[in-house]
Copies of this chain bind each other. A is one copy, B any other.
Protein backbone atom coordinates (compact mmCIF):
# COMPACT_ATOMS: atom_id res chain seq x y z
CA UNK A 1 0.00 0.00 0.00
CA UNK A 2 2.82 2.38 -0.79
CA UNK A 3 1.73 4.24 -3.89
CA UNK A 4 -0.44 7.32 -3.68
CA UNK A 5 -3.62 6.47 -5.49
CA UNK A 6 -5.16 9.85 -4.80
CA UNK A 7 -2.59 11.60 -6.88
CA UNK A 8 -1.77 8.77 -9.23
CA UNK A 9 -4.50 6.20 -9.40
CA UNK A 10 -2.56 3.63 -11.39
CA UNK A 11 -4.39 1.84 -14.15
CA UNK A 12 -7.98 2.95 -13.68
CA UNK A 13 -10.94 0.87 -14.71
CA UNK A 14 -11.31 3.28 -17.56
CA UNK A 15 -7.80 2.73 -18.79
CA UNK A 16 -8.18 -0.98 -18.46
CA UNK A 17 -11.40 -0.84 -20.40
CA UNK A 18 -9.87 1.26 -23.14
CA UNK A 19 -6.99 -1.12 -23.46
CA UNK A 20 -9.49 -3.87 -23.92
CA UNK A 21 -8.07 -6.01 -21.15
CA UNK A 22 -11.30 -6.01 -19.31
CA UNK A 23 -13.42 -8.41 -21.28
CA UNK A 24 -11.05 -11.26 -20.72
CA UNK A 25 -12.88 -14.39 -21.75
CA UNK A 26 -15.33 -12.43 -23.82
CA UNK A 27 -12.58 -11.04 -26.03
CA UNK A 28 -11.61 -14.57 -26.94
CA UNK A 29 -15.00 -15.15 -28.42
CA UNK A 30 -15.47 -11.75 -30.02
CA UNK A 31 -15.81 -8.97 -27.44
CA UNK A 32 -17.24 -5.54 -27.97
CA UNK A 33 -14.40 -3.46 -26.65
CA UNK A 34 -15.08 -0.44 -28.82
CA UNK A 35 -18.65 -0.26 -27.65
CA UNK A 36 -17.49 -0.53 -24.06
CA UNK A 37 -15.18 2.45 -24.38
CA UNK A 38 -18.04 4.51 -25.74
CA UNK A 39 -20.23 3.56 -22.84
CA UNK A 40 -17.57 4.55 -20.38
CA UNK A 41 -17.26 8.00 -21.89
CA UNK A 42 -21.00 8.36 -21.85
CA UNK A 43 -21.65 7.47 -18.24
CA UNK A 44 -19.35 10.22 -17.04
CA UNK A 45 -21.75 13.14 -17.32
CA UNK A 46 -23.89 11.75 -14.50
CA UNK A 47 -26.78 14.15 -14.98
CA UNK A 48 -27.57 16.99 -12.62
CA UNK A 49 -27.88 14.90 -9.49
CA UNK A 50 -24.35 15.37 -8.21
CA UNK A 51 -23.49 16.66 -4.74
CA UNK A 52 -19.97 18.14 -4.81
CA UNK A 53 -17.62 16.01 -2.76
CA UNK A 54 -14.85 18.48 -1.93
CA UNK A 55 -15.31 21.38 0.44
CA UNK A 56 -14.78 22.76 3.92
CA UNK A 57 -17.35 20.36 5.34
CA UNK A 58 -18.05 16.77 4.36
CA UNK A 59 -21.28 16.12 2.49
CA UNK A 60 -24.09 14.13 4.06
CA UNK A 61 -24.51 16.35 7.10
CA UNK A 62 -26.49 19.40 6.06
CA UNK A 63 -27.11 17.96 2.57
CA UNK A 64 -30.84 17.50 1.97
CA UNK A 65 -31.70 13.98 3.07
CA UNK A 66 -31.54 11.47 0.25
CA UNK A 67 -33.86 8.50 -0.13
CA UNK A 68 -31.47 5.78 0.99
CA UNK A 69 -28.54 5.26 3.28
CA UNK A 70 -26.08 2.50 4.00
CA UNK A 71 -23.90 3.09 7.04
CA UNK A 72 -20.94 0.89 7.82
CA UNK A 73 -18.34 0.60 10.54
CA UNK A 74 -14.86 -0.86 10.32
CA UNK A 75 -12.27 -2.22 12.72
CA UNK A 76 -8.62 -1.46 12.01
CA UNK A 77 -6.34 -4.49 12.02
CA UNK A 78 -2.98 -2.78 11.72
CA UNK A 79 -0.47 -1.05 13.94
CA UNK A 80 0.91 0.96 11.03
CA UNK A 81 0.03 4.63 10.90
CA UNK A 82 1.07 4.66 7.25
CA UNK A 83 -1.44 1.99 6.41
CA UNK A 84 -4.25 3.93 8.09
CA UNK A 85 -3.22 7.05 6.18
CA UNK A 86 -3.19 5.08 2.95
CA UNK A 87 -6.67 3.69 3.66
CA UNK A 88 -8.01 7.20 4.22
CA UNK A 89 -6.33 8.55 1.08
CA UNK A 90 -7.81 5.74 -0.98
CA UNK A 91 -11.22 5.96 0.62
CA UNK A 92 -11.34 9.69 -0.03
CA UNK A 93 -10.23 9.41 -3.64
CA UNK A 94 -12.75 6.69 -4.40
CA UNK A 95 -15.56 8.46 -2.52
CA UNK A 96 -14.91 11.55 -4.63
CA UNK A 97 -14.97 9.56 -7.86
CA UNK A 98 -18.19 7.83 -6.93
CA UNK A 99 -19.88 11.04 -5.79
CA UNK A 100 -18.98 12.62 -9.10
CA UNK A 101 -20.60 9.80 -11.01
CA UNK A 102 -17.65 7.67 -11.95
CA UNK A 103 -18.51 4.21 -10.69
CA UNK A 104 -15.71 2.44 -12.48
CA UNK A 105 -12.55 3.65 -10.82
CA UNK A 106 -12.35 1.19 -7.98
CA UNK A 107 -8.62 0.80 -7.62
CA UNK A 108 -6.87 -2.47 -7.89
CA UNK A 109 -6.63 -4.20 -4.57
CA UNK A 110 -3.49 -6.15 -3.89
CA UNK A 111 -3.68 -8.31 -0.79
CA UNK A 112 -0.78 -7.55 1.48
CA UNK A 113 -0.17 -11.23 1.89
CA UNK A 114 -0.88 -13.49 -1.05
CA UNK A 115 -0.73 -16.48 1.25
CA UNK A 116 -3.92 -15.23 2.93
CA UNK A 117 -7.03 -17.33 3.21
CA UNK A 118 -7.84 -16.91 -0.46
CA UNK A 119 -4.46 -18.05 -1.68
CA UNK A 120 -5.48 -21.49 -2.84
CA UNK A 121 -8.10 -20.09 -5.14
CA UNK A 122 -6.75 -19.17 -8.52
CA UNK A 123 -7.93 -15.55 -8.34
CA UNK A 124 -6.59 -13.38 -5.60
CA UNK A 125 -6.92 -9.83 -6.77
CA UNK A 126 -9.86 -7.56 -7.24
CA UNK A 127 -9.34 -6.09 -10.63
CA UNK A 128 -12.42 -4.13 -11.41
CA UNK A 129 -15.51 -2.36 -10.37
CA UNK A 130 -18.38 -4.65 -9.46
CA UNK A 131 -20.40 -2.73 -12.07
CA UNK A 132 -23.88 -3.01 -10.56
CA UNK A 133 -24.23 0.78 -10.35
CA UNK A 134 -22.76 1.45 -13.74
CA UNK A 135 -24.75 3.97 -15.80
CA UNK A 136 -27.18 4.60 -12.96
CA UNK A 137 -25.67 8.01 -12.22
CA UNK A 138 -24.52 9.52 -8.91
CA UNK A 139 -28.06 9.94 -7.58
CA UNK A 140 -26.96 12.66 -5.15
CA UNK A 141 -24.47 10.29 -3.56
CA UNK A 142 -22.64 11.58 -0.52
CA UNK A 143 -19.99 9.62 1.33
CA UNK A 144 -19.14 10.78 4.83
CA UNK A 145 -16.13 9.41 6.69
CA UNK A 146 -15.96 9.25 10.49
CA UNK A 147 -13.46 8.34 13.20
CA UNK A 148 -14.33 6.32 16.30
CA UNK A 149 -12.50 6.44 19.62
CA UNK A 150 -10.72 3.23 18.61
CA UNK A 151 -8.72 5.15 16.02
CA UNK A 152 -7.11 7.07 18.87
CA UNK A 153 -7.08 4.54 21.66
CA UNK A 154 -7.71 0.83 21.25
CA UNK A 155 -7.74 -1.19 24.45
CA UNK A 156 -5.64 1.53 25.98
CA UNK A 157 -3.08 1.49 23.15
CA UNK A 158 -2.13 4.56 21.12
CA UNK A 159 -1.60 2.55 17.94
CA UNK A 160 -1.03 5.46 15.61
CA UNK A 161 0.51 8.10 17.85
CA UNK A 162 -2.57 10.31 17.82
CA UNK A 163 -4.11 9.65 21.24
CA UNK A 164 -3.29 13.17 22.34
CA UNK A 165 -5.35 14.53 19.47
CA UNK A 166 -8.53 12.70 20.46
CA UNK A 167 -11.23 15.36 20.87
CA UNK A 168 -12.88 15.44 24.25
CA UNK A 169 -16.19 15.79 22.38
CA UNK A 170 -15.67 12.23 21.07
CA UNK A 171 -17.13 10.78 24.24
CA UNK A 172 -17.84 7.27 25.27
CA UNK A 173 -21.59 7.33 25.83
CA UNK A 174 -22.84 6.44 29.29
CA UNK A 175 -25.25 3.57 29.71
CA UNK A 176 -28.72 5.02 29.36
CA UNK A 177 -31.76 3.52 31.07
CA UNK A 178 -33.39 0.98 28.80
CA UNK A 179 -30.40 0.50 26.48
CA UNK A 180 -30.33 -2.96 24.93
CA UNK A 181 -27.30 -2.44 22.70
CA UNK A 182 -25.85 -5.12 20.49
CA UNK A 183 -22.05 -4.65 20.59
CA UNK A 184 -21.70 -6.38 17.20
CA UNK A 185 -23.88 -3.65 15.67
CA UNK A 186 -22.26 -0.78 17.56
CA UNK A 187 -19.09 1.33 17.60
CA UNK A 188 -16.07 0.81 15.33
CA UNK A 189 -12.77 2.52 14.49
CA UNK A 190 -13.79 4.00 11.13
CA UNK A 191 -17.22 4.88 9.78
CA UNK A 192 -18.78 5.36 6.38
CA UNK A 193 -22.15 6.92 5.74
CA UNK A 194 -23.28 6.71 2.13
CA UNK A 195 -26.52 8.45 1.22
CA UNK A 196 -28.18 8.77 -2.17
CA UNK A 197 -31.44 8.51 -4.02
CA UNK A 198 -30.73 5.02 -5.36
CA UNK A 199 -29.95 2.10 -3.05
CA UNK A 200 -28.02 0.33 -5.80
CA UNK A 201 -25.66 3.31 -5.98
CA UNK A 202 -25.44 3.73 -2.21
CA UNK A 203 -24.60 0.12 -1.42
CA UNK A 204 -22.20 0.04 -4.36
CA UNK A 205 -20.32 2.94 -2.76
CA UNK A 206 -19.92 1.19 0.58
CA UNK A 207 -19.07 -2.13 -1.02
CA UNK A 208 -16.48 -0.56 -3.31
CA UNK A 209 -14.80 1.42 -0.55
CA UNK A 210 -14.85 -1.59 1.78
CA UNK A 211 -13.03 -3.58 -0.91
CA UNK A 212 -10.03 -1.29 -1.00
CA UNK A 213 -8.24 -2.76 1.98
CA UNK A 214 -10.32 -5.39 3.74
CA UNK A 215 -7.33 -6.77 5.60
CA UNK A 216 -6.51 -3.40 7.13
CA UNK A 217 -10.00 -1.96 7.61
CA UNK A 218 -12.40 -4.86 8.12
CA UNK A 219 -16.14 -4.44 8.04
CA UNK A 220 -17.68 -4.55 11.51
CA UNK A 221 -21.36 -3.87 10.74
CA UNK A 222 -23.60 -2.32 8.12
CA UNK A 223 -27.13 -0.96 8.40
CA UNK A 224 -29.50 0.14 5.67
CA UNK A 225 -32.09 2.87 6.02
CA UNK A 226 -34.54 4.72 3.86
CA UNK A 227 -36.08 8.11 4.00
CA UNK A 228 -39.83 8.00 4.36
CA UNK A 229 -41.52 9.92 1.61
CA UNK A 230 -44.25 12.46 2.07
CA UNK A 231 -45.14 14.44 -0.98
CA UNK A 232 -47.21 16.71 1.24
CA UNK A 233 -44.48 17.89 3.61
CA UNK A 234 -42.45 16.65 6.54
CA UNK A 235 -41.95 12.88 6.24
CA UNK A 236 -43.72 10.60 8.68
CA UNK A 237 -41.80 8.01 10.65
CA UNK A 238 -43.07 4.47 11.13
CA UNK A 239 -45.15 5.64 14.09
CA UNK A 240 -47.11 7.71 11.56
CA UNK A 241 -46.02 11.05 13.04
CA UNK A 242 -44.22 13.79 11.15
CA UNK A 243 -40.54 13.52 11.98
CA UNK A 244 -38.17 16.40 11.41
CA UNK A 245 -40.21 19.45 12.33
CA UNK A 246 -37.46 20.55 14.70
CA UNK A 247 -33.93 19.27 15.36
CA UNK A 248 -33.66 18.29 11.70
CA UNK A 249 -31.35 18.95 8.79
CA UNK A 250 -34.48 20.09 6.95
CA UNK A 251 -34.71 23.09 9.28
CA UNK A 252 -31.23 23.63 10.68
CA UNK A 253 -30.61 26.38 13.22
CA UNK A 254 -29.30 29.63 11.79
CA UNK A 255 -26.02 29.58 13.65
CA UNK A 256 -24.35 26.32 12.69
CA UNK A 257 -20.99 27.52 14.00
CA UNK A 258 -22.25 27.38 17.56
CA UNK A 259 -24.44 24.28 17.24
CA UNK A 260 -23.12 21.94 14.57
CA UNK A 261 -19.51 22.51 13.62
CA UNK A 262 -16.71 21.53 15.96
CA UNK A 263 -15.94 24.21 18.54
CA UNK A 264 -13.29 26.83 17.85
CA UNK A 265 -11.54 26.03 21.13
CA UNK A 266 -11.44 22.28 20.44
CA UNK A 267 -8.92 20.19 18.52
CA UNK A 268 -7.78 22.34 15.62
CA UNK A 269 -7.78 19.44 13.16
CA UNK A 270 -11.56 19.14 13.66
CA UNK A 271 -12.36 22.71 12.48
CA UNK A 272 -15.17 22.34 9.98
CA UNK A 273 -16.02 18.90 11.30
CA UNK A 274 -18.79 17.75 13.58
CA UNK A 275 -19.74 14.89 15.90
CA UNK A 276 -22.21 12.17 15.06
CA UNK A 277 -24.21 10.10 17.50
CA UNK A 278 -25.83 7.08 15.90
CA UNK A 279 -28.59 5.15 17.61
CA UNK A 280 -30.66 2.40 16.04
CA UNK A 281 -34.02 2.78 17.71
CA UNK A 282 -36.41 -0.13 17.42
CA UNK A 283 -40.09 0.82 17.52
CA UNK A 284 -42.54 -1.68 18.94
CA UNK A 285 -44.98 -1.11 16.12
CA UNK A 286 -47.36 -3.86 17.21
CA UNK A 287 -47.73 -2.22 20.60
CA UNK A 288 -47.94 1.29 19.17
CA UNK A 289 -50.64 0.28 16.71
CA UNK A 290 -52.89 -0.80 19.55
CA UNK A 291 -52.84 2.59 21.20
CA UNK A 292 -55.66 5.07 20.59
CA UNK A 293 -54.51 7.93 18.39
CA UNK A 294 -55.34 10.43 21.12
CA UNK A 295 -52.99 8.64 23.46
CA UNK A 296 -50.30 8.38 20.78
CA UNK A 297 -50.55 12.16 20.51
CA UNK A 298 -50.05 12.57 24.24
CA UNK A 299 -46.95 10.37 24.07
CA UNK A 300 -45.46 12.46 21.29
CA UNK A 301 -46.92 15.83 22.25
CA UNK A 302 -48.11 16.60 18.73
CA UNK A 303 -51.23 16.03 16.67
CA UNK A 304 -50.83 13.04 14.41
CA UNK A 305 -52.39 14.41 11.24
CA UNK A 306 -51.20 18.01 11.25
CA UNK A 307 -48.02 17.63 13.24
CA UNK A 308 -49.00 20.70 15.29
CA UNK A 309 -47.89 20.72 18.92
CA UNK A 310 -50.76 19.87 21.23
CA UNK A 311 -52.47 23.12 22.12
CA UNK A 312 -51.38 24.75 18.87
CA UNK A 313 -52.72 24.82 15.34
CA UNK A 314 -49.93 24.42 12.79
CA UNK A 315 -46.97 22.11 12.49
CA UNK A 316 -44.39 24.84 12.84
CA UNK A 317 -46.08 26.66 15.71
CA UNK A 318 -43.77 27.01 18.70
CA UNK A 319 -44.22 24.51 21.51
CA UNK A 320 -46.33 26.14 24.17
CA UNK A 321 -45.21 24.27 27.24
CA UNK A 322 -47.46 26.22 29.61
CA UNK A 323 -50.90 25.95 28.00
CA UNK A 324 -53.35 23.83 29.94
CA UNK A 325 -56.46 22.06 28.69
CA UNK A 326 -59.92 22.42 30.14
CA UNK A 327 -59.04 19.67 32.60
CA UNK A 328 -56.22 21.78 34.00
CA UNK A 329 -53.52 19.40 32.75
CA UNK A 330 -50.74 20.66 30.47
CA UNK A 331 -51.75 20.35 26.82
CA UNK A 332 -48.31 18.85 26.22
CA UNK A 333 -48.01 16.26 28.98
CA UNK A 334 -45.05 16.44 31.33
CA UNK A 335 -43.61 13.22 29.90
CA UNK A 336 -44.37 13.94 26.22
CA UNK A 337 -41.45 13.36 23.87
CA UNK A 338 -41.45 16.84 22.35
CA UNK A 339 -41.43 18.53 25.74
CA UNK A 340 -38.43 16.58 26.99
CA UNK A 341 -36.48 16.82 23.72
CA UNK A 342 -37.19 20.48 22.97
CA UNK A 343 -34.36 23.03 22.93
CA UNK A 344 -36.50 25.10 25.34
CA UNK A 345 -36.14 22.49 28.07
CA UNK A 346 -32.50 21.65 27.27
CA UNK A 347 -30.71 25.00 27.64
CA UNK A 348 -31.11 25.50 23.90
CA UNK A 349 -29.26 22.31 23.00
CA UNK A 350 -30.04 21.20 19.47
CA UNK A 351 -29.21 18.33 17.16
CA UNK A 352 -29.13 18.26 13.41
CA UNK A 353 -30.89 14.98 12.72
CA UNK A 354 -31.07 13.05 9.47
CA UNK A 355 -34.02 10.73 9.96
CA UNK A 356 -34.07 7.38 8.21
CA UNK A 357 -36.40 4.47 8.76
CA UNK A 358 -34.99 0.98 8.96
CA UNK A 359 -36.62 -2.41 8.59
CA UNK A 360 -34.61 -5.52 9.37
CA UNK A 361 -37.49 -7.98 9.05
CA UNK A 362 -38.86 -9.76 12.07
CA UNK A 363 -37.14 -11.12 15.14
CA UNK A 364 -38.14 -12.78 18.38
CA UNK A 365 -38.48 -10.00 20.89
CA UNK A 366 -39.38 -9.64 24.55
CA UNK A 367 -41.51 -6.55 25.03
CA UNK A 368 -40.40 -4.01 27.60
CA UNK A 369 -43.81 -3.52 29.17
CA UNK A 370 -46.21 -5.70 31.11
CA UNK A 371 -46.85 -8.56 30.59
CA UNK A 372 -43.45 -8.70 28.84
CA UNK A 373 -44.88 -10.68 25.97
CA UNK A 374 -42.39 -12.65 23.90
CA UNK A 375 -43.32 -12.68 20.25
CA UNK A 376 -42.06 -12.44 16.72
CA UNK A 377 -42.16 -8.72 16.04
CA UNK A 378 -40.89 -6.23 13.51
CA UNK A 379 -37.28 -5.21 13.89
CA UNK A 380 -38.04 -1.82 12.43
CA UNK A 381 -37.84 1.76 13.50
CA UNK A 382 -35.55 4.73 13.19
CA UNK A 383 -31.90 5.30 12.44
CA UNK A 384 -31.08 8.33 14.55
CA UNK A 385 -28.13 10.16 13.00
CA UNK A 386 -27.64 13.26 15.11
CA UNK A 387 -24.86 15.76 14.33
CA UNK A 388 -23.77 18.30 16.90
CA UNK A 389 -20.97 20.47 18.12
CA UNK A 390 -20.57 18.61 21.39
CA UNK A 391 -22.41 15.38 22.21
CA UNK A 392 -21.94 16.04 25.92
CA UNK A 393 -24.06 19.18 25.68
CA UNK A 394 -26.54 17.85 23.12
CA UNK A 395 -27.21 14.12 22.80
CA UNK A 396 -25.95 13.01 26.20
CA UNK A 397 -27.70 15.81 28.06
CA UNK A 398 -30.99 15.36 26.24
CA UNK A 399 -31.03 11.58 26.19
CA UNK A 400 -30.14 11.30 29.86
CA UNK A 401 -33.53 12.87 30.53
CA UNK A 402 -35.39 11.11 27.75
CA UNK A 403 -34.15 7.67 28.74
CA UNK A 404 -35.72 8.04 32.17
CA UNK A 405 -38.83 10.13 31.66
CA UNK A 406 -39.96 10.01 28.02
CA UNK A 407 -43.39 8.39 27.60
CA UNK A 408 -42.11 7.16 24.25
CA UNK A 409 -39.80 4.70 26.00
CA UNK A 410 -42.66 2.24 26.27
CA UNK A 411 -42.51 1.90 22.51
CA UNK A 412 -38.83 2.30 21.66
CA UNK A 413 -35.61 0.44 22.43
CA UNK A 414 -32.12 1.56 21.49
CA UNK A 415 -30.42 -1.51 20.03
CA UNK A 416 -27.23 -0.12 18.46
CA UNK A 417 -25.06 2.88 19.17
CA UNK A 418 -21.91 4.68 18.09
CA UNK A 419 -20.21 8.06 18.28
CA UNK A 420 -17.92 9.31 15.54
CA UNK A 421 -15.90 12.42 14.88
CA UNK A 422 -16.73 13.62 11.37
CA UNK A 423 -13.61 15.48 10.26
CA UNK A 424 -13.72 18.47 7.92
CA UNK A 425 -14.05 17.85 4.22
CA UNK A 426 -11.19 17.31 1.79
CA UNK A 427 -10.56 20.67 0.16
CA UNK A 428 -9.91 19.33 -3.31
CA UNK A 429 -8.39 16.54 -5.40
CA UNK A 430 -5.25 15.17 -3.79
CA UNK A 431 -6.50 16.08 -0.34
CA UNK A 432 -8.12 13.54 1.91
CA UNK A 433 -10.38 13.24 4.92
CA UNK A 434 -8.16 12.93 7.97
CA UNK A 435 -5.30 14.93 6.47
CA UNK A 436 -5.67 17.55 9.18
CA UNK A 437 -5.29 14.85 11.82
CA UNK A 438 -2.40 12.86 10.38
CA UNK A 439 -0.44 15.33 8.25
Contact = CB atoms under 8 A, between A and B. Distances in A.
Interface of A: 22-32, 35-36, 39, 70, 117-118, 120-121, 123-137, 185, 198-200, 203, 207, 211, 214, 218-224, 226, 228-232, 236-241, 285-286, 288-295, 297-298, 303-306, 308, 310-313, 323, 325-327, 331, 357, 359-362, 369-371, 373, 376, 378, 380
A121 B241 CA distance: 22
A135 to B, nearest CB: 4
Contacts of A228: 132, 200
Q: Which of A25, A298, A312, A380 counts the most chain B CB atoms within 10 A?
A: A25
Nearest to A42: B232
Contacts of A289: 126, 130, 207, 211
A98 to B, nearest CB: 15
A134 B376 CA distance: 26
Contacts of A27: 294
A127 B292 contact: yes
A224 B297 contact: no
Contacts of A25: 294-295, 297-298, 310
A224 B361 contact: yes
Contacts of A312: 30
A378 B28 contact: no
B36 A323 contact: no
B117 A373 contact: yes
B221 A362 contact: yes
B369 A286 contact: no
A294 B26 contact: yes
Nearest to A308: B32
Contacts of A221: 361-362, 376
A404 to B, nearest CB: 21
Given A123-B290, A131-B240, A132-B238, A313 B32 contact: yes
Contact of A370 (B39, B121, B313): B121
A23 B293 contact: yes
A223 B27 CA distance: 39
Contacts of A380: 203
Given A137-B231, A369-B121, A378-B222, A23 B311 contact: no
B376 A229 contact: no
Contacts of A28: 325-327, 331
Contact of A130 (B123, B240, B359): B240
Contact of A305 (B23, B133, B236): B23
A304 B131 contact: yes
B303 A230 contact: no
Contacts of A226: 199-200
